[in-house]
Amino acid sequence: MKITMIGTGYVGLVSGACFADFGHDVVCVDKDTAKISAIEAGRMPIYEPGLDQLVGSNAAAGRLTFTTDLAEGVKGADAIFIAVGTPSRRGDGHADLSYVYAAAKEIVEALDGPAVIVTKSTVPVGTGDEVERIARELRPDLDIQIVSNPEFLREGAAIGDFKRPDRVVVGTTGSERAIAVMSQIYRPLNLNQAPLMFTGRRTAELIKYAANAFLATKITFINEMADLCEAVGAEVQDVSRGIGLDNRIGSKFLHAGPGYGGSCFPKDTLALVKTGQDYDTPIRIVETVVQVNDLRKRAMGRKIVKALGGDARGKTVALLGLTFKPNTDDMRDAPSLAIVQALEDAGARVVAYDPEGMHIAAPMVPGVTMVKSAYEAAAGADALVLVTEWDAFRALDLPRLAASMNAPTLVDLRNIYPVAEAQAAGFTLSRVGSAA
Ligand code: UDX
């Protein structure tokens, strides 16, 4: 199959490289000349484990090419995927679809024959209908099918998620040609027994939002349980295990922490809330999740101040991890941003170390001193805060860290370190959802 991928962000680049790895012939298109040149030179615009090798090997095999010329890129394509950004619109939280519609218009104008246009970007219910309207209006001469194929990949595990998905959702309006093209594109996944699920287009669009909102709700539920555990003297990790072993609940996405962040959950929960309000069907549970999670991030700053004895003025706080989760350099809506803000407001000086995210974080938190290791961060600090659970932070030499600090206080926002181990190292420990 000849596939064109519009947009070389997270979803576009990973999907394009994986499709090429399946043996398809893929052209990735992006307007950003510098980005395309960098990718062609082997420099990836994002940090994602394994992506540079995947892009390199498929480009070398001639199955993956890059261009800034959209019209050239779509020529002869069996399917054209739209994987451009859908940020939250400034002011009202609706998904900003201007990039999607602009891409759709350009694709349609450049088409030289019948085509299947697939939205892979996360788009609100009804976007496919609007793309179809654009296509019919501009090119009544062509048979253009519009399909929704939401992507569920996680940053840091994106290639594995793409190649071994739990399911692939394809929403169509029933066109046999669209179903045949999509089946052919995803046929290599049959080997991994991933169910290819065909639904209506609006349903597919909603599935993506419903999945993300449900996961965000699960996290927020356990985070509120964590607060309750602290108040009543219970252990959230045991509560999590105790409920997660029930197959109906499941153990995943039940890790209490500083609140969810990233490029998807905050944006998609907000967009779903707006859609519910627009259709006069408020999704109250998700409205609450959004509020609770926003408040939680700042509350983590107060938790650290409390661990400092209630007064942060003139004290130094060392943060381990800045990205919203490990194995990414993504800082979008990272809890660390709210934590830094709260600490600086309380008069603390903040130092930080992150294995991959510091180049992106530095301009976002200009008051923070970036250092080169966890040990350098801890030296002379009054509190050490584990914000992001990078593997590199899982086996630190705790006695060495404690000994180098002005006051050995550890705030473990990911509950990585066992209480006994931290205390034996000389730390006063504060965890999430724990009596410790
Ligand atoms: C998410 C979805 O998992 C993915 O299917 C979708 O396509 C995009 O959004 P991603 O944002 O990459 O992926 O990260 P994910 O691993 O899901 O984590 C999201 C946030 O939730 C992170 O801030 C993480 O720290 C937090 N989280 C996750 C928890 O606090 N507790 C958990 O148990 C799980």
Please give the pLDDT value at position 189. 87
> In angstroms, what is the span from residue 1 Cα to ligand 1's centroid?
32
Residue of 240, 260, 263 with the most ligand 1 atoms within 8 Å of its CB, for mutation? 260
265 Cα nearest atom in ligand 1:
9
**Residue 272: CA atoms inside 13 Å, Cβ hemisphere, count?**
27
- Domain ranges across the chain: 2-194, 214-431
Using one digit for the tens of pLDDT, what is the confidence trace for 383-425?
A: 999 999 999 999 999 999 999 999 999 999 999 999 999 999 9
Residue of 120, 264, 336, 388 with the most ligand 1 atoms within 8 Å of its CB, for mutation? 264
Cβ(137)–Cβ(279) below 8 Å: no
H-type helices in 22-169, by residue range?
Answer: 33-40, 51-60, 70-74, 98-110, 127-138, 158-163
264 is catalytic: yes
SS3 label, residue 358: helix
- Helices 201-232, 284-307: crossing angle, 10 deg rounding: 40
Using one digit for the tens of pLDDT, what is the confidence trace for 286-298?
A: 999 999 999 999 9
**Average pLDDT value for residue range 25-46:** 96
| Region label for 114, one of left (φ > 0), alpha (ψ between -120 and 50) or beta (otherwise) | beta
Length of the chain: 436
Residues at CB less than 6 angstroms from ligand 1: 151-155, 212, 215, 219, 253-255, 257, 260-265, 324-325
> In angstroms, what is the span from residue 219 Cα to ligand 1's centroid?
9
Residue of 48, 164, 253 with the most ligand 1 atoms within 8 Å of its CB, for mutation? 253
157 Cα nearest atom in ligand 1:
12
Instruction: Using pLDDT thresholds of 50, 70 and 90, give the confidence band for residue 36.
Output: very high
Instruction: Using pLDDT thresholds of 50, 70 and 90, give the confidence band for residue 273.
Output: very high
Closest CA to 264 of 204, 340, 223, 324: 324
Please give the pLDDT value at position 335. 98
What does the alpha-carbon distance between residue 435 and residue 237 come to, in Å, rounded to a whole number? Answer: 11
Query: Are the folds of 2-194 and 214-431 the same?
Result: yes
Percentage, residues of the chain above pLDDT 90: 94
Task: Name the residue with the closest Cα to ligand 1, atom 13.
Answer: 154
What does the alpha-carbon distance between residue 142 and residue 35 come to, in Å, rounded to a whole number? Answer: 32
Please give the pLDDT value at position 59. 97
Task: Name the residue with the closest Cα to ligand 1, atom 8.
Answer: 264
What does the alpha-carbon distance between residue 98 and residue 87 come to, in Å, rounded to a whole number? Answer: 10
259 Cα nearest atom in ligand 1:
30
Please give the pLDDT value at position 194. 74
Please give the pLDDT value at position 57. 97
> In angstroms, what is the span from residue 222 Cα to ligand 1's centroid?
14
What is the pTM assigned to this prediction?
0.94
254 Cα nearest atom in ligand 1:
33
Instruction: Using pLDDT thresholds of 50, 70 and 90, give the confidence band for residue 436.
Output: confident
Please give the pLDDT value at position 55. 98
Residue 91: is its pLDDT beyond 90? no
Question: Using the 8-state DSSP alphabet, how is residue 95 labeled?
Answer: B
CATH of the domain spanning 214-431, picked from 3.50.50.60, 3.40.50.2300, 3.30.420.40, 3.40.50.720: 3.40.50.720
Three-state secondary structure string covering 181-223: HHHHHHHHHHHHCCCEEEEEHHHHHHHHHHHHHHHHHHHHHHH
CATH topology of domain 2-194: Rossmann fold (3.40.50)
Using one digit for the tens of pLDDT, what is the confidence trace for 98-148?
A: 999 999 999 999 999 999 999 999 999 999 999 999 999 999 999 999 999
Task: Name the residue with the closest Cα to ligand 1, atom 17.
Answer: 154
